Amino acid sequence: MRLQPDEDALEFAAAVRDLLSQTCDAQALRAAWDSVGQGASGRDDGRVPGLWKRLADMGVAGLVVPEELGGAGLDLTGALPVFVEAGRAALPEPVVGTSVGAALLTQAGGAVAHEWLPRVAAGEAVLALADGHDALVVGGQWADLFLLGDNDGVRAVARDDVDVDSAPSIDPGLGLARVRVHAGAGAPVDNADGRRAFDWACVAVAGELVGLARAMLDRAVGYAKVREQFGKPIGSFQAVKHQLADVFVATSFAAPVVNRAAWSVAHDLPTRSRDASHAKYAAGRAAAQAARTALQVHAGIGYTYENDLHMWLKRTWSLASQWGTTDWHKDRIARELLGG
């Protein structure tokens, strides 16, 4: 038995982390945020120029695309460590949305999958999931193909058949857009299990939230070691230490919950939805606590736009509320445990 992702998945994620530390450091992230509204079309607003191509060359775009269609063929347990790295970097690229879409198409198979998945793996097409005909969509600004879930199943709708209006939010690196689908547009994706794709997305985002929590803890600890008051590092004060220790505990206990959920979703276990909700809930809570604490430990400097911390805070707030809020997931679990 093993609850950690496999060694090779961890190694791959470490390589992604290296790439992101060079190409998407805080300075690059800040530049990406500042690019919003500067470009002509707005299509790539908030992204890091050229990064998607490099990620695709590494295999990140086609992470879960089957090997015969040009991808790496990983399941959710293998892809998860990359999502953690995306969170750690507060990455402003559609890694999760594209992976969720690719997982959905892979599961369904058929014409749409064969048409789009090779392009996804090559980094030529970006996917996004939309919940209904008029929805706020993460990565909607950037997507080429929308997978639209409603009561009748899943439809694949090309960008030409939707209206995309950017939805300015506190997190410009999210590609958030209001997406309206033209009546009758798109093609049905036969056999697509939209509910499972939703659970898949929850776990992937939970992975990002774990990465965010770790990043904020590292930032806060790093700051506590160098910032001095009363002639000592503030990290020597117990009130500071104990808050950071609590964040460490919350994060440490969220990670195995997220790992287990990846397994449950990948193997479509009967507890799949509950485990996915637990993952999103535990990771959302831990990341929210990390965000609060990191801000408190940074204090005045943390409350500025000039310090980098705010980009991680805002990504945390965004992801905690997307794909079902932390509270919504808790309620879903409660209903399942207690009935009613």
Partner 1 sequence: MDLTVDAAREQWRAEVREWLAANVPAEPLPSLDTADGFAAHRDWERRMYDAGFAVVTWPERFGGRAVDLLDWLAFEEEYWAAGAPVRVSQNGIFLLAPAMFEVATEAQLERFMVPMARADEVWAQGWSEPGAGSDLAALRSRADRVDGGWRLNGQKTWSTRGTFADWMFGLFRSDPRSLEAGSSRHRGLTYFLLPLDADGVTVRPIRQLDGEPGFAEVFFDDVFVPDDQVLGEVGKGWSVAMSTTTSERGLTLRSPGRFMASAERLLDLVRRTPQASGRAVDDAVDAWLDADAYRLYVLDTALRAMAGEQIGAESSANKLFWSDLDVRIHDAALRLLGPAGLLTETADARWLDGYLFSLAGPIYAGTNEIQRNVLAERVLGLPRA
Regarding 256 and contact with partner 1 (CB under 8 A), the answer is yes
Two structure tokens written together for 72: 């790496």
Pick the binder of partner 1 from 155, 214, 272, 278 (CB under 8 A).
Answer: 278
Cβ 333 to partner 1 shortest distance, Å: 6
Cβ 34 to partner 1 shortest distance, Å: 33
Residue closest to 265 by CA, chosen among 182, 213, 207, 222: 207
- Asked if residue 160 lies in contact with residue 64, where contact means CB atoms within 8 angstroms, the answer is no
Q: Which stretch binds partner 1 (CB under 8 A): 115-123, 141-149, 259-267, 312-320?
A: 259-267
For partner 1, the closer of residues 84 and 181 by Cβ is 84
Pick the binder of partner 1 from 260, 280, 310, 314 (CB under 8 A).
Answer: 260
Pick the binder of partner 1 from 209, 254, 265, 294 (CB under 8 A).
Answer: 254
Cβ 169 to partner 1 shortest distance, Å: 29
For partner 1, the closer of residues 109 and 233 by Cβ is 233
Q: Say what angle helices 95-108 and 194-226 make with each other, to 10 degrees.
A: 160
Residue closest to 191 by CA, chosen among 261, 106, 278, 305: 106
Judged by DSSP in three states, 150 sits in strand
Contacts of partner 1 in 34-93 (CB under 8 A): 77
Q: What angle do CA 167, 170, 104 make, to 5 degrees?
A: 60
Separation of alpha carbons 158 and 175, rounded Å: 17
Separation of alpha carbons 304 and 36, rounded Å: 19
Contacts of partner 1 in 179-198 (CB under 8 A): none
The mark string for 221-250 relative to partner 1 (x by CB under 8 A, - otherwise) is: x--xx------xx-xxxx-xxx-xxx-xx-
For partner 1, the closer of residues 4 and 21 by Cβ is 4
Instruction: Please report which helix (H) or strand (E) contains residue 333, including its range.
Output: helix 326-338
Separation of alpha carbons 20 and 15, rounded Å: 9
For partner 1, the closer of residues 40 and 226 by Cβ is 226
Q: Which stretch binds partner 1 (CB under 8 A): 105-113, 126-134, 208-216, 260-268?
A: 260-268
Cβ 321 to partner 1 shortest distance, Å: 19
Q: How many CB atoms lie within 10 A of CB 210?
A: 29
- Asked if residue 128 lies in contact with residue 147, where contact means CB atoms within 8 angstroms, the answer is yes
Instruction: Please report which helix (H) or strand (E) contains residue 8, including its range.
Output: helix 7-23
- Asked if residue 51 lies in contact with residue 24, where contact means CB atoms within 8 angstroms, the answer is yes
For partner 1, the closer of residues 66 and 235 by Cβ is 235
Residues lying near partner 1 in the complex (CB under 8 A): 1-6, 77, 217, 221, 224-225, 232-233, 235-238, 240-242, 244-246, 248-249, 252-254, 256-257, 259-260, 262-263, 278, 281-282, 330, 333-334, 337-339
